Structure 1
Amino acid sequence: MPETTPGPSTVLTAPPALSAQAERLIELGVHETAGLSAEEIRTFAARAEAGADGPGALLAVHPDRAPASALAPLLRRDGKPGFVVVDMPDVDEFAPSALALPDAPLYLVHGIDRGDHMANWSPDEALPALTKEDRTPLVLTEGIHWVLQQPEALERNLCFMTIGSRLRKPNGSFDARTPAIWISNGTGRDGRERRNAPKVGWCWWNNRHTWLGFASTTGRRG
Structure 2
Amino acid sequence: MSALPVAACPTEAELEFDRQVDALVQAGLPEHLELLESCFRASCEPLRDLLPPPAGHDGIPFVVVVPGLPVVPVLEAVHTVGGPGFTTMEDDDLARFRPLPELEVPAAPYLLLDVDPGGGNLNVPPAKVLPGIAAAGRTPLTIAEGLAVLVSDPGVLRSRNCFSLAGSRAGDKRVPALWVSARRPRLGWCYQGAPHTWLGTASCAARVGASAPV
How would you bin the TM-score normalised by the shorter chain? 0.7 to 0.9
TM-score scaled by length of structure 2:
0.80
Contact 2:178–2:188 (8 Å) recurs in 1: yes
Match of 1:100 among 99, 104, 107: 104
Equivalence for 1:215: 202
1:139 to 126, 138, 142: 142
Deviations 1:85-110 (A, max 9, x none): 24675113200113110122x11111
The two structures, once aligned, show a CA RMSD in angstroms of: 2.3
Change in 2 beyond 3 A, CA 1:145/1:52:
closer
1:175 is aligned to 2:179: no
Q: CA deviation at 1:15?
A: 10
Determine the C-alpha separation between the residues in 2 that align with 1:84 and 1:158: 18
Match of 2:4 in 1: none
Contact 2:14 2:51 in 1 (8 A): no
Query: Structure 2 regions of 5+ residues with no counterpart?
Result: 1-12, 54-60, 210-214
Alpha-carbon separation, structure 2, partners of 1:113 and 1:138: 9
Distance 1:219 1:159, change over 3 A: same
* Amino acid paired to 2:26: E
Preserved contact between residue 137 and residue 214 of structure 1 (Cα < 8 Å): yes
Secondary structure class of the residue paired with 2:177: strand
Structure 2 match to 1:41: 40
8 Å Cα contact 1:182/1:198 also seen in 2: yes
Partner SS for 1:35 = coil
Give 1:213's aligned amino acid: G
Q: Distance in 2 between matches of 1:59 and 1:127?
A: 23
Report what 2:65 is aligned to: 60
Within 5 Å, give how 1:113-132 maps onto structure 2. 113-132=116-135
Percent of aligned positions that are identical: 32
Deviation of the 1:48 alpha carbon: 2.1
Partner in structure 2 of residue 205 of structure 1: 192
C-alpha displacement at 1:210, in angstroms? 1.1
1:130 deviates by 0.3
Give the SS at the match of 2:186.
Answer: strand
> Residues 81 and 15 from structure 1, CA distance in 2 versus in 1: closer, same or farther, beyond 3 angstroms?
farther
Q: Secondary structure at the match of 2:120?
A: helix
Provide the C-alpha distance between the structure 2 equivalents of 1:165 and 1:16, rounded to a whole number of angstroms. Answer: 30
Q: Which moved more, 1:82-91 or 1:114-123?
A: 82-91
Distance 1:100 1:196, change over 3 A: same
- Distance in 2 separating the partners of 1:116 and 1:99: 22
TM-score relative to the length of structure 1: 0.78
8 Å contact 2:177–2:187 — kept in the other structure?
yes
CA contact (8 A) 1:138 1:164 kept: yes
Pairing 1:32–2:31 present: yes
The offset of 1:77, in angstroms, is 1.3
Q: 1:203 and 1:176 mapped to 2: Cα distance?
A: 8
CA contact (8 A) 1:19 1:46 kept: no
Separation in structure 2 between the aligned mates of residue 179 and residue 214 of structure 1, nearest angstrom:
10
Gaps of 5+ in 1: 1-13, 168-173, 185-194
Query: In structure 2, what residue type is equivalent to 1:178?
Result: V
Q: Is the 8 A contact 1:68 1:92 kept in 2?
A: no
Q: Distance in 1 between matches of 2:40 and 2:198?
A: 34
